[in-house]
Amino acid sequence: MENLLKEYQTSLKHIQQAIDRLSNKEYPSKKDPKDIQLLRDMERDLRWTMEWMKCRSQPKKRRGIERYAGYQREIFWSRLSAKQQREIEWRENQVMLSNSSSHENPQLRLILDQLSRSEYESFVAVRGEGISFAQVASLLKCSKSTIQSYVHRAEQKINILKEL
Which tens digits make up the pLDDT trace of 28-44? 666 677 888 888 899 99
Rounded to the nearest 5°, which phi and psi values hold at 129? Answer: -95, -15
Establish how many alpha carbons lie within 13 A of residue 95's alpha carbon, considering only the half-sphere containing its beta carbon: 5
Between these two residues, 25 and 36, which has the higher pLDDT value? 36
* Whole-prediction pTM: 0.41
Which run of H or of E encompasses 18?
Answer: helix 2-23
Residue 112, amino acid: L
**pLDDT, position 80:** 63
Q: Which of 122, 120, 114, 164 is nearest to 145 (CA)?
A: 122
CA separation for the pair 147, 123 (Å, rounded): 8
Residue 40, amino acid: R
Which tens digits make up the pLDDT trace of 90-145? 777 777 766 655 556 777 778 888 888 889 889 988 988 888 999 999 888 899 99
CB 43 within 8 A of CB 12: yes
Between these two residues, 141 and 76, which has the higher pLDDT value? 141
